[in-house]
Amino acid sequence: MPSTKNLSPKQLSALTASLLALPIAAGIYVLTGNRVFGLASLLIIFSGSYALILFTLEKFIYRKIKLIYKLIHQTKATKKEEVYFKYILPQKSIDEVREDVEKWGEKRNEEIELLKKNEAYRKEFLQNLAHEFKTPIFAIQGYVDTLLGGAMEDAVIRKNSLRTPPRMWTGW
């Protein structure tokens, strides 16, 4: 039996219809002994089963695959994508579609990891920024508190408090 791994839906339908029609038509020929009746039954059974199998494959299975692709892209399909869904996708085997979905999943996982790293970087940056703002504000608050606590009346302390910038500001 030939490999059915990379067959198109039409080829798979024809193969399956042949496998159904040949033994049935052969049985009809053996039972009736009439070649014309056997050949006619072969053509009718083949064409009916081919149409039914092709319809089933295209309308049910590939419609579900198309929905998966639309879900993956999460957008309304453009004209280019519609052409892809209509003409190219039915040419793909289920294994190729599975590979596409796996690649999409890996890409999404990489994006999620990148977002997590960026979030951690953002949190660390904001913590450092908050610390850098708090330190000089607390130093200024300490000097103001000293001045309000009575250092305003003492000229030496007042002069030192107002002239000497805090040591942690030397880098500014």
Over the stretch 94-146, which tens digit does the pLDDT of each residue have?
667 777 778 888 888 999 999 999 999 999 999 888 888 887 788 778 777 87
Arithmetic mean of pLDDT, 67-79: 67
Across 50-77, average pLDDT: 75
- Label residue 171 by pLDDT band (50, 70, 90): very low
Q: What is the pLDDT of residues 21-38, one digit of tens each?
A: 999 999 999 998 888 998
Q: In this predicted structure, which of 45-49, 57-61, 105-109, 126-130 has the lowest mean pLDDT? A: 57-61
Q: Which residue has the higher pLDDT, 148 or 67?
A: 148
Percent of the chain past pLDDT 90, that is, above it, reads 26
- Mean predicted lDDT score pLDDT of the chain: 78
Give the CA distances from residue 43 to residues 22, 25, 35, 76, in Å, rounded to whole numbers and listed in that order: 9, 9, 12, 42
So what's the pLDDT on residue 13? 86
Q: DSSP for 77-110? A: --HHHHHIIIIIGGGS-HHHHHHHHHHHHHHHHH
**Cα separation, 60 vs 13, whole angstroms:** 14
Q: Is the pLDDT of residue 151 over 50?
A: yes
Percentage of the chain surpassing pLDDT 70? 73
Rg for the chain, CA atoms, rounded: 39
Q: What phi and psi, each to the nearest 5 degrees, are found at residue 147?
A: -65, -40
pLDDT for residue 94:
65
Q: Is the pLDDT of residue 77 over 70?
A: no
CB 45 within 8 A of CB 25: yes
Amino acid identity of 97?
V
Rounded CA-CA distance 166/160 in Å is: 11
